[in-house]
Structure 1
Amino acid sequence: MDVLDGPRFGPLNGAAPDALVVLVHGFGADGQDLIDLAPVWAEVLPGAAFVAPDGPEPCAGGPFGRQWFSLWDRSAAQLEAGVARAAAVLGPFVAAEVARLGLAPGRVALMGFSQGAMTVLEAGLCGAVPEAGCILAYSGGMIGADSLAGRIAAKPAVLLVHGEADEVVPVAASRMAEVALADAGVPVRALYRPGLGHGLDEVGLAAGAEVLRGLLGQK
């Protein structure tokens, strides 16, 4: 696996960064897929730096794009091992960014879409990214949700957003994650969007902006 890197944005105000938002793409995409969210969310976090790392592996079976872990074998054991490895790669990258920017603990938000959502939930809750102050998980879910209570290492605020018409990752994945997170004592809010497929919409992005402003908007 390669050392992670990807496109960056901000801070919008031109000052030294006071927060970091890490945008983690889905299967078959790359950092460019999500970095366009940075100017939108920078309106509520003008002091934040944004980074969208490319996944550590070429996309299996595809001519382009990256992946955080393989989906070739979708058995529970293989998926759990894959997301754990992905979280272990994301962790040092986030720690290096936090050190480089000189940020205080808790001044980090993790956002992920689809496979990226699964990766940031694992990383932020199970110890790979202890710096996370909040997690925004879109159109994903949590691999190994049934064992979370025995693995959890941190309890950052979590926002789950999922389209009820998602044809790629069923909305049931986020509903299961919501229950597991609540049972583990994690402050979780879930937003299910009627008619939305596997994607983002303005309502979900506004909800993410609200969480970011509430948790990272002030030093």
Structure 2
Amino acid sequence: MEVRYKIVVGAVAVGVVATGVALWRTDDPPAVAEPVAPPRPMADQTASAPDAAPAPNAEKRLPGAWVDQNPPQAAANGPLVIGLHGRGDTPGNFGQVAPKLAPRLHWRLIEAPLPWRENTQWFRMDAPDSGKADLQAAEQLVAAHVQSARGRKVGLVGFSQGCFVAAHFAATHPQDVHAVLCIGGGLVFSPEVPQSSAKPAILFVHGLQDNVVPAARSRNAKQVLENLGLPCELLEHGEAHVIPEAELGRMRGWLESKLAQ
């Protein structure tokens, strides 16, 4: 069963998107290892539009492309949440969930650097090294944006391939992030964890009906990271390869509480 997002867009303010998110399913089996996001709309490509094409920001020193969401209720120097979308998705599309997960926090939604069909991916699963080099390059990209936060608390939220990147980043940069929400993914390989007293909060969320990335991947990742000294939590739900609407409240409470500590 293939699962995609259907995004219903409401009012758009400066830097803030009010949205409703629904899920729709088709009965066709997935033809690829990860569902394809709907194509990016061609109309209304303004900076504040929810599906605006990410473009290099005024911070020219930072690599890649991204979309920022800065709601007016977010504190000027408050926590920053970095969002990492899945393969074939876009920052704008993935950003529709931001107002539901952390509406009072700043968001930066980074675009994956490698092309894949109409959009992008974080790593190539069919590479000779199963994507290890790509994933390490993705970690460096994320690290540059995390370090630009200049002492602010940073959270990561990743879905599917973005979840794999977030989980590896939490392991290799434990001192740089406070909370990591990993949805529908796991680890590509066992990471090397540096010596550090910092231990970010890590929550894996996975659907028991996921036929794209089996729920066992999150369970295994949790065990590997805990064996490496990084405590993790696991929330399993009854849906498939989705960000479960029924669990948005619990995920929001977890993320906001960890970034408030």
Question: Is 1:95 equivalent to 2:147 in the alignment?
Answer: yes
Question: Is 1:85 equivalent to 2:134 in the alignment?
Answer: no
Which residue of the partner structure matches residue 52 of structure 1? 109
Question: Is 1:30 equivalent to 2:90 in the alignment?
Answer: yes
| Counterparts of residues 1-219 of structure 1 (less than 5 Å) | 3-13=63-73, 15-43=75-103, 46=104, 48-59=105-116, 62=117, 64-73=118-127, 77-96=129-148, 98-99=149-150, 103-104=151-152, 107-127=153-173, 130-145=175-190, 148=191, 151-153=192-194, 155-194=199-238, 196-217=239-260
> When you count strand as a share of all residues, which structure comes out higher?
2
Contact 1:24 1:53 in 2 (8 A): yes
Q: Distance in 2 between matches of 1:184 and 1:14?
A: 35
Q: State the SS of the aligned residue for 1:198.
A: coil
Please identify the structure whose Cα radius of gyration is greater: 2
> 1:159: how far off?
0.3
> 1:187: how far off?
2.0
Q: Distance in 2 between matches of 1:203 and 1:190?
A: 16
Q: Per-residue displacement from partner, 1:49-105 (whole Å, max 9, x unpaired)?
A: 11111111211xx1x1111111233x6x33222211211122112222x03xxx43x
Ranked by relative contact order (alpha carbons within 8 Å, sequence separation 6 or more), the top structure is 1
How many residue pairs are counted as aligned between the two chains? 197
CA RMSD after TM alignment: 2.0
TM-score by length of 1: 0.82
Q: Distance in 1 between matches of 2:202 and 2:74?
A: 28
Contact 2:168 2:187 in 1 (8 A): yes
Contact 1:11 1:17 in 2 (8 A): no
> 1:203: how far off?
3.6
Compare 82-91 and 109-118 and name the one that shifted more.
Answer: 82-91
Q: Distance in 1 between matches of 2:243 and 2:160?
A: 10
Q: Distance in 1 between matches of 2:130 and 2:188?
A: 10
Q: Structure 2 vs 1, CA of residues 68 and 130 (structure 1 numbering), >3 Å: closer, same or farther? A: farther
> When you count helix as a share of all residues, which structure comes out higher?
1
Identity %: 28
Q: State the SS of the aligned residue for 1:135.
A: strand
**Structure 1 unaligned runs (5+)?**
none
> 1:215: how far off?
1.4
Counterpart residue type for residue 185 of structure 2? G
